[in-house]
Amino acid sequence: MKFCPRCGGLMVPVKREGKTYLKCQRCGYEEELKSNDAKSYIDKKKVEKKGAVIVESYEEKGPSEEEKELKEDYVKQLLDNLYEEEKEQED
């Protein structure tokens, strides 16, 4: 691997007009690839194609009107029960 002499970015091989150049991904600096540098850019790993990745997005929705009404009824009932219990304890 070679790094850019200007900015320190990674130099990657780019083919153009039958020649291979090393180009900095950050600043765009280029130089011709030398044969001794080429050895460090040979990829020895084999990548197998496993299949497609499916990315699904979803929109988080708030509660429906029915759910809101049920929640309101529940809270009212709970408060009524608490109020009745406090009255019973006072008597």
pLDDT for 76 equals: 93
pLDDT for 19 equals: 87
pLDDT for 45 equals: 66
pLDDT for 33 equals: 85
Say what the pTM is: 0.43
pLDDT for 46 equals: 67
pLDDT for 6 equals: 92
Degrees, nearest 5: CA angle 56-58-60: 160
Q: Cα dist. 63→60, 69, 71 in Å?
A: 10, 10, 10
Below-50 pLDDT ranges, the chain:
none
Domain spans, the chain: 11-41
- Can you read off the two tokens belonging to residue 51? 């299949």
